C-alpha cells in the first residue's frame, strides 16, 4: 500500500481519538493537520524503509508535503458518524533510490477528497473500522513533451475493517501499482 495513503488514513484515525464527543444535539467540528513533511528513508537496512515500488535495479522513493483538513459530524448522542477530509500535497517528489538526481515532481495541487463513513469505535473510543470513500487526483506526474506517466484520478472505496479496496474506478496507477512508466522515467 502506498505510504501516502497509509499516512493519511493513520492521521484520520489517530485524530479521531483526540476529539471530545458532542453533548446534546448533533454538531460538526473542523480542524487542520499540518503542514507536515514526510521524507522517505533512503537506507534499505532501516526498518522504516518503505519504497513506493521496485524497478529493475532500484526502488522508487517519495518525499511529500501534507495538509489535512477535517470535518467531523456527530449525531445527537455524540457518536461520530462521518468524517470528511481533504488531503492536499503542496509538493510530491519521486526519485531513484540509487541516484536521487533522477527525480520527478508531481504537478502542484495534488489533492484527495475523502469521506470516512460511519467510523466505528469501541466503548473506549479506539478506532475499529469503517468505509473510506475517496476521489480526486491523488497522484499526477506529467512529463513535458510526453504526457502523464503516473496518475490516479478516479474514485475508490476502501474497507478499513478488512484493509481491502472494494471499489476503484478511473486511471489507477496509484492504487494498482502500475509503475512501469515511472520506473522507465527514473532510470
Q: What is the pLDDT of residues 128-162, one digit of tens each?
A: 667 777 777 677 787 777 777 777 777 888 887 78
**How far apart, in Å, are the Cα atoms of 128 and each of 2, 8, 16, 80, 103?**
21, 16, 11, 13, 38
Please give the Cα distance from 131 to 121 (Å, whole number).
Answer: 13
pTM, to two decimals: 0.69
Work out the pLDDT band at 114, boundaries 50, 70, 90.
low
Q: What is the pLDDT of residues 43-96, one digit of tens each?
A: 888 998 888 889 999 999 999 888 888 888 888 888 777 778 888 888 888 899
Please give the Cα distance from 70 to 86 (Å, whole number).
Answer: 7
**How far apart, in Å, are the Cα atoms of 151 and each of 102, 108, 136, 170?**
19, 13, 10, 10
Q: Give the mean pLDDT of 101-123.
A: 71
Domain total of the chain: 1
The three three-digit cell numbers of residue 126, written as one number: 479506539
Total Cβ atoms within 10 A of residue 74? 20
- Do residues 68 and 85 lie in contact, with contact meaning Cβ atoms separated by under 8 Å? yes
> Domain range holding 180?
3-186
Amino acid at each position: 500500500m502506498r505510504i501516502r495513503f497509509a499516512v493519511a488514513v493513520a492521521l484520520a484515525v489517530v485524530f479521531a481519538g483526540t476529539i471530545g464527543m458532542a453533548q446534546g444535539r448533533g454538531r460538526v467540528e473542523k480542524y487542520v493537520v499540518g503542514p507536515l513533511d514526510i521524507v522517505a528513508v533512503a537506507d534499505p537496512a532501516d526498518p522504516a524503509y518503505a519504497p513506493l515500488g521496485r524497478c529493475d535495479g532500484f526502488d522508487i522513493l517519495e518525499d511529500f508535503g501534507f495538509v489535512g483538513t477535517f470535518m467531523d459530524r456527530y449525531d445527537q448522542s455524540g457518536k461520530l458518524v462521518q468524517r470528511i477530509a481533504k488531503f492536499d500535497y503542496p509538493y510530491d517528489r519521486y526519485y531513484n533510490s540509487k541516484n536521487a538526481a533522477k527525480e520527478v515532481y508531481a504537478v502542484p495541487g495534488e489533492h484527495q477528497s475523502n469521506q470516512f463513513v460511519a467510523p466505528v469505535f469501541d466503548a473506549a473510543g479506539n478506532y475499529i473500522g469503517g468505509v473510506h470513500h475517496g476521489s480526486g487526483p491523488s497522484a499526477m506526474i506529467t512529463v513535458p513533451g510526453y504526457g502523464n506517466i503516473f496518475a490516479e484520478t478516479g474514485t475508490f472505496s476502501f474497507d478499513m475493517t478488512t484493509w481491502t479496496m472494494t471499489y476503484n474506478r478511473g486511471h489507477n496507477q496509484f492504487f494498482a501499482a502500475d509503475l512501469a512508466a515511472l520506473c522507465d522515467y527514473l532510470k
